[in-house]
Copies of this chain bind each other. A is one copy, B any other.
Amino acid sequence: MNDAAIGVFDSGMGGLTVMRALKARLPQERFVYLGDTARLPYGTKSANTVRRYALQAATALTRRGVKLVVIACNTASVSLPALKDALAPLPVVGVIEPGAEAALAAAQGAPIAVIATEGTVKGGAYVRAIEAKGGADVAQQACPLFVPLSEEGLTEGPIAEAIAHRYLDPLLATMPKPRCLLLGCTHYPALKDVIARVAGPEIALVDSAETTAEAVARLLKDEGLQAPPRASALPEFLVTDAPDRFARVGEIFLGEPIDPGTVELVDLQ
């Protein structure tokens, strides 16, 4: 079992920022990434539909013999209890809880600012998770242009900066002033530099990709599931649509080229 891969699931490409952090933190592990590119985005779908899709995706990953499933998608993380039930005893890790924990640690009693998709903001998952872990004031802002901006590779320059100001200036002007900004969508780490510059040096950025990688590392250790020392292997990619676009645009989020030959088209229905 220790030798098996880690399954990483997202509605599309954003989860590649989580896989990037996982690869950096756990270089000896193997990964299978599944992007449900035919049915993205999940942010506008009902909780029932998202749960059904996430279950299909997680099941497809278990058929590949993974030892752990990471739900690298904020929207799909609302299905975490259902997924844990369905996949037990396989461990399942989401991005919301690690992000909320890290934000509370960074905020030190000050309010927490959260940026996310419209769906995540409306669903209030971060507000609830932060409340459950001790509580803090939370100010939220949906940033719908950040996803297409990052998917186009427009992660620097005056356009990215103007859009970041549009979202962040009113959010960070709330009183009392937030001390940390949680990136509550797995696409947003691609815009980290612009976001950090616009937010200013007194705002700590919490990247749920990194905190999730940390949570996975902890869990592998606790469960004795760590991979044996070995040379790093290329990840495998499964997508439900447009493998070429996935390979091309995915590079922005993974931070390294994706060989189109490693991207396999699968049907989840």
Question: Measuring CB to CB, which residues of chain A are less than 8 angstroms from any residue of chain B?
Answer: 37-40, 44-46, 49, 118, 144-145, 147-149, 151-152, 154, 158-159, 162-163, 166, 241-242, 245
Task: List residues of chain B with CB within 8 A of the CB of A49.
Answer: 38, 241
Q: In the complex, which of the residues B46, B118, B159, B242 contacts A45, with contact meaning CB atoms closer than 8 Å? A: B242
Q: In the complex, which of the residues B118, B148, B151, B241 contacts A46, with contact meaning CB atoms closer than 8 Å? A: B241
Task: List residues of chain B with CB within 8 A of the CB of A159.
Answer: 159, 162-163, 166
Q: A46-B242, A118-B245, A145-B154 are in contact. List 20 more A-B contacts (CB 8 A).
A: A37-B44, A37-B45, A38-B45, A38-B46, A44-B242, A45-B241, A45-B242, A46-B241, A49-B241, A144-B148, A144-B152, A145-B145, A145-B148, A145-B149, A145-B152, A147-B148, A148-B148, A158-B162, A159-B163, A162-B162
Q: In the complex, which of the residues B162, B163, B245 contacts A44, with contact meaning CB atoms closer than 8 Å? A: B245
Q: In the complex, which of the residues B151, B158, B166 contacts A144, with contact meaning CB atoms closer than 8 Å? A: B151
Task: List residues of chain B with CB within 8 A of the CB of A147.
Answer: 148
Query: Which 7 residue pairs spanning A and B have beta carbons closest together?
Result: A148-B148, A159-B162, A46-B241, A44-B242, A46-B242, A145-B148, A38-B49
In the bound complex, how far is the Cα of B152 from the Cα of A147, in angstroms?
13
Task: List residues of chain B with CB within 8 A of the CB of A149.
Answer: 145
Closest residue to A146 on the B side, CB-wise?
B148
Closest residue to A147 on the B side, CB-wise?
B148
Q: How far is the CB of A81 from chain B (nearest CB, A)?
A: 21
Q: How far is the CB of A5 from chain B (nearest CB, A)?
A: 26
Instruction: Indicate the member of A38, A40, A152 with the most B CB atoms within 10 Å.
Output: A38
Q: How far is the CB of A247 from chain B (nearest CB, A)?
A: 14
Q: How far is the CB of A163 from chain B (nearest CB, A)?
A: 6
Q: How far is the CB of A122 from chain B (nearest CB, A)?
A: 9
In the bound complex, how far is the Cα of B149 from the Cα of A147, in angstroms?
11
Task: List residues of chain B with CB within 8 A of the CB of A40.
Answer: 44
In the bound complex, how far is the Cα of B39 from the Cα of A40, in angstroms?
7
Task: List residues of chain B with CB within 8 A of the CB of A45.
Answer: 37-38, 241-242
Instruction: Indicate the member of A49, A149, A166 with the most B CB atoms within 10 Å.
Output: A49
In the bound complex, how far is the Cα of B159 from the Cα of A162, in angstroms?
7
In the bound complex, how far is the Cα of B117 from the Cα of A148, in angstroms?
12
Task: List residues of chain B with CB within 8 A of the CB of A37.
Answer: 44-45
In the bound complex, how far is the Cα of B242 from the Cα of A148, in angstroms?
20
In the bound complex, how far is the Cα of B159 from the Cα of A159, in angstroms?
6
In the bound complex, how far is the Cα of B162 from the Cα of A212, in angstroms?
36
